[in-house]
């Protein structure tokens, strides 16, 4: 398969989300132009992204929504359940644990860890919060696909090291710190401060 760029992946996931929403509305087909109007992407971009995965469209008709969703998901997700492990059950971690929307997609939070005894040993929205000390042992037994870091910045590198040691290859990092990880491990940083400031700057600069 061709190398799919990170930008393409984000756009395709946006399309998948939109296709799901169209399915819920009972729609059967959608054109690249229609998807473009909803998502804010361009029609050509959508067709080109889709063309990475084969020929799914029907000229003069567009795409069958269910088929397109299936094809896109098969190529980029390729698993029915993507297993997430969460570090830090503080303000942000709890919001993530309580969010029902992940399950509707293929994301499943399989465990959470917190160093604070008052927070661990609880169950939030069906997910058990374990004490941090047990993390390495438990993670190694149950392979996870993604590690999410929602701990204070001082602890974030230590947690990243543990995630790497457990053999997990994807990290989502909410701490405002640039993590050091081996190059085969992929980190996606979400620093909300930077996101907010970028939103402001993009509009004003």
Ligand X SMILES: NC(=O)c1ccc[n+]([C@@H]2O[C@H](COP(=O)([O-])OP(=O)(O)OC[C@H]3O[C@@H](n4cnc5c(N)ncnc54)[C@H](O)[C@@H]3O)[C@@H](O)[C@H]2O)c1
Residues at the site binding ligand X, with contacts judged by CB under 6 A = 87-93, 95-96, 99, 101, 113-116, 119, 132, 150-153, 155, 158-159, 174-176, 192-193
23/71 with CB nearer ligand X:
23
Give, as one character, the DSSP assignment of residue 100. S
Give the integer Cα–Cα distance in Å for 16 and 177. 31
Counting contacts by CB under 8 A, is residue 138 touching its own copies?
no
Q: Which two tokens stand for residue 192?
A: 């909300």
The one among 56, 136, 181, 185 contacting DNA by CB under 7 A? 56
Q: Which does 119 bind (CB under 5 to 8 A by kind): DNA, ligand X, its own copies, none?
A: ligand X
The least distance separating its own copies from the CB of residue 135, rounded to whole angstroms, comes to: 19
Choose from DNA, its own copies, ligand X, none: what does 158 bind? Cβ within 5-8 Å by kind.
ligand X
Site for its own copies in 41-100 (CB under 8 A): 75-78, 82, 84, 91-92, 94-96, 98-99
Least distance from DNA to the Cβ atom of residue 18, Å: 13
DSSP bridge pairs for 130: 113
Q: Could you tell me how many residues of this chain bind its own copies (CB under 8 A)?
A: 59
Degrees, nearest 5: CA angle 188-189-194: 145
Q: At 171, give phi and psi (nearest 5°).
A: -125, 135
- Residues 24 and 35: their CA atoms lie apart, in Å, by 15
164 with 181: CB under 8 angstroms? Answer: yes
**158's torsion region: left (phi>0), alpha (psi -120 to 50) or beta?**
alpha
Site for DNA in 2-21 (CB under 7 A): 5-8
Contact status: 39 vs DNA (CB under 7 A): no
Beta bridge pairs of residue 113: 87, 130
Please report where in the chains the tokens 């004490």 appear, as a residue.
131
Residue with tokens 């600069």: 205
Q: Residues interacting with its own copies, by CB under 8 A?
A: 1, 4, 6, 9-10, 13-14, 17-18, 38-40, 75-78, 82, 84, 91-92, 94-96, 98-99, 101-102, 105-107, 145-146, 148, 169-172, 176, 178, 185-188, 190-205
């Amino acid at each position: 398969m061709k190398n799919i760029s990170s930008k393409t992946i984000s756009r395709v996931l946006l399309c998948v989300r939109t296709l799901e929403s169209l399915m819920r509305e009972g729609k059967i087909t959608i054109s690249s132009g229609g998807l473009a109007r909803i998502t804010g992407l361009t029609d050509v971009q959508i067709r080109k992204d889709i063309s990475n995965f084969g020929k799914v469209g029907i000229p003069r008709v567009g795409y069958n929504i269910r088929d397109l969703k299936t094809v896109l998901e098969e190529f980029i997700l390729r698993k029915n359940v993507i297993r997430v492990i969460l570090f830090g059950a503080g303000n942000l971690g709890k919001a993530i644990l309580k969010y029902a929307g992940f399950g509707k997609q293929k994301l499943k939070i399989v465990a959470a860890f917190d160093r604070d005894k008052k927070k661990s040993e609880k169950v939030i929205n069906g997910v058990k919060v374990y004490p941090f000390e047990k993390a390495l042992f438990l993670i190694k037994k149950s392979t996870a696909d993604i590690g999410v870091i929602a701990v204070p910045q001082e602890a974030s590198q230590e947690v990243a090291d543990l995630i790497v040691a457990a053999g997990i290859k994807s990290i989502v990092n909410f701490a405002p710190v640039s993590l050091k990880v081996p190059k085969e491990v992929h980190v996606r940083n979400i620093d909300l401060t930077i996101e907010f400031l970028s939103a402001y700057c993009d509009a004003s600069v």
